[in-house]
Structure 1
């Protein structure tokens, strides 16, 4: 008798941060998906559209299937949340791809709350990875923290990228610490190699590569550069990256007449970052807050001494003989740069690459994530009564969700799951009335429209079958 092969675990990674845009979250998602496929899992990515052309289903070169869902941009890269209008599409993707686990990324993503609500109704397992530290006093983060707190009851497990980040998640969202694991970021160290021959020390180059925005401490950088240039005649700066604060940097260069000392490169493609890093001796980071800074790993792997602000999870990233930490102050940063310059004569920067390679790898990240998947799949599912009890404790969203949960149970007796695969090969008209369901405050009406959409689709299928 032939053995029946077990199907691989199917994972749907949900995020608004993905290629073709470039960033830490985008690389994390891509590399995690790549290594999970190597371990035998089926990985599908669900993300937003990028312009009018990148909509629908795309396949990446390594075989990853990507759903680009059309959205209206709200605050880039976040899109406008609607909660209910896309439920039929989400459900169709989940059933068609035979999903076992939904892995969501970033608290600020539109899809986080929507997939948590949808997956809770459909009894899917949920894992959520956050990548950013958030304040507990500003109005925007306070709203986001409350949003995370309300919907975290649906998550089976959560992931932070550093211990400091884990602590921040617990404090701002009142989440049980036992529900959060720490899985750090990593890098592909073979893409960031040291110079074969050491650079000359008579001209010292400090490299700064980052998004040029307020959170990355550009205000601090504009104060540090003139101080260092005034103290050291043999120090130059290379600044790379694009963003809203680029004009501020150019204004600083004009104000202090540093055109021959500061080179501003603008946006740098990913494949050229190592080439720029290898031109320098010291890497500078002036972030206001960081949960985990991948740029520091890239610079250390390229053989640079690091100088950074002592914020967030940065002290956990690398040993103190590689990175020098400073208070968020221009004078303190310039003093640490002086210390880094004196270290250049004695530090063995050629060994940094191998040390970083041993400490961080995407294979290790994927293995830890895979263990979390197994743990979540082995946990018993929440019963209908347990879900009702948890929702009752959430007064702000409990009533609406209890209403939804009970109604969905009733509608589940009229399930059309066996038609989902057939729908994937037939274009079913999308009713013009559907976008207006956002305006309905009564969820019963919204789900009624969803059911009517299914009926329209079924009637169209029956007509097609009769014509064959």
Structure 2
């Protein structure tokens, strides 16, 4: 089976969790005898063509023309993707196309109709979910593209029951067209050696770790509001809030206004190695999201044997069994966050129990190989219907 995959992100271009998801999935699919050709961004920062762990990667340069807004620029990136995709489809026989999220939607739609190939779409999040509604024309456009992807695809993949309900509710995509395939975690990635004294560069006491985009829906503002309560019980505690995003300066200002800046470190973007070491030395990892389609960071913490506190929303609500392998706080509630953090910092036997149970869950339920097998099953289902359909016999228009 040969699949043409298109993704806005792929290492080294990484904005959120999408890049790592596509990387791990595509490499695991290769182990399942799927030949994956991936088109993505990054021609300016890495090899334009490379074979990496069995995946054929085509990195496209960014457009070198000014545009009036991001949406126009994103469309130009799709044109660049199509230049490469058209050449590939004419040279190789692909069985289907698999795209990730709205940003590459028009590449997928155009290839589907130009070459009469079935389209599979993974929707990782929605514009309405990220913003708790649609409030302007920019958001409405993205929302409409997401609807279009659900309409054009042969199957839609999402990462949780929460997301299936959201996609069905927003776009009226039939539930029996939506497959739930969880994200996974690579356990080997988080089995790292941490040099002596690593934790000391951040703190000589407790370390509370957050990593993720610094945007409204990640709820970091509520984590900061919880800090004074935590410090009242565990004063020798440092909060390391890693990541970048449009809220960074605002969050730094909030920490200064609250008088907690001496206990909060904002390292910005950190390397994968630094992230893995921080997970290892953290006393707890906290993810206070207001919206979370899946929540792969919780799995990363579990794989690192770090006890987690998450908001009881979205995918987090499905991953974490409260009191068994992690703790759930009320969304947007600093008092609830503080209570859970204090519990883990002060009850070491309880934290150790959650640590062990969380690691066991990551090992047993969230391997990438199992996720790749489920994805291949979706591919096979699509191909069976495609081969029986009249649509595949319609000749694409080659001349006008």
The answer to whether TM tops 0.5 is yes
Partner of 2:186: 188
Gapped runs of 5+ residues in structure 1? 1-8, 388-404, 415-447, 449-468
- Which residue pairs with 1:66 in the alignment? 57
Q: 1:367 to 1:338 in 2, by over 3 A?
A: same
Instruction: List aligned pairs for 1:404-415, cutoff 5 A.
Output: 411-412=397-398
Structure 1 pair 189/89, CA: closer, same or farther in 2 (3 Å)?
A: closer
Match of 1:339 among 318, 336, 343: 343
C-alpha RMSD of matched pairs (Å): 3.1
Q: Contact between 2:39 and 2:85, CA under 8 Å: does it hold in 1? A: no
Whether 1:285 aligns to 2:282 is no
1:317-339 residue CA offsets vs partner (Å, 9 max, x unmatched): 13221222222122222222233
In structure 2, do the counterparts of structure 1 residues 40 and 323 end up closer, same or farther at CA, with 3 Å as the change threshold?
same
Q: Normalised by the size of structure 1, how large is the TM-score?
A: 0.73
Q: Deviations over 1:298-346 (max 9, x none)?
A: 1122222211222222111132212222221222222222333344333
Structure number with greater CO (CA < 8 Å, separation at least 6) is 2
Q: Distance in 2 between matches of 1:86 and 1:336?
A: 46
1:173-222 superposed Cα distances (whole Å, 9 cap, x missing partner):
1111111100010111122249999x9xx943211112222232232233
Q: Per the alignment, do residues 264 and 89 of structure 1 end up closer, same or farther by CA in structure 2, a change over 3 Å counting? A: closer
Specify the alignment match of 1:17 in structure 2: 9
Compared CA separation, residues 86 and 263, structure 1 to 2 (3 A): closer
Select the residue among 350, 360, 375 that pairs with 1:354: 360
The question of 1:34 aligning with 2:41 is answered no
Does 1:376 pair with 2:376? Answer: no
Asked whether the equivalents of residues 39 and 81 of structure 2 are also in contact (C-alpha less than 8 Å), the reply is: no
Distance 1:271 1:195 in 2: 10
Per-residue deviation at 1:364? Answer: 0.6
Instruction: Rate the CA distance shift 1:383–1:296 in 2: closer, same or farther, 3 A.
Output: same
How does 1:358-437 map onto structure 2 within 5 Å? 358-380=364-386, 382-383=389-390, 411-412=397-398
- Which runs of at least 4 in structure 1 moved beyond 6 Å after TM superposition? 82-86, 194-197
Q: Separation in 2 of the partners of 1:144 and 1:176?
A: 20
Match of 2:319? 317
Moved more, 162-171 or 210-219: 210-219
What residue ranges of structure 2 are gaps of 5+ in the alignment?
none
Aligned CA distance change for structure 1 residues 119 and 362 (closer, same or farther; 3 Å): same
**Inter-partner Cα distance in structure 2 for 1:193 and 1:82:** 37
Residue 156 of structure 2 corresponds to which residue in structure 1? 158
- Secondary structure of the residue aligned to 2:281 is coil
Q: What is the match of residue 466 of structure 1?
A: none
Q: 1:106 aligns with which of 101, 113, 131?
A: 101
Counting matched residue pairs gives 378
Contact 2:62 2:77 in 1 (8 A): no
Work out the CA distance in 1 between the residues paired with 2:213 and 2:374.
29
Output the CA distance in 1 between the equivalents of 2:78 and 2:40.
15
Contact 1:289 1:311 in 2 (8 A): yes
* CA radius of gyration, larger in: 1
Q: Work out the CA distance in 1 between the residues paired with 2:182 and 2:22.
A: 13
Indicate conservation of the 8 Å contact 1:14/1:45, yes or no.
yes
Determine if contact 1:10/1:98 at 8 Å carries over to the other structure. Answer: yes
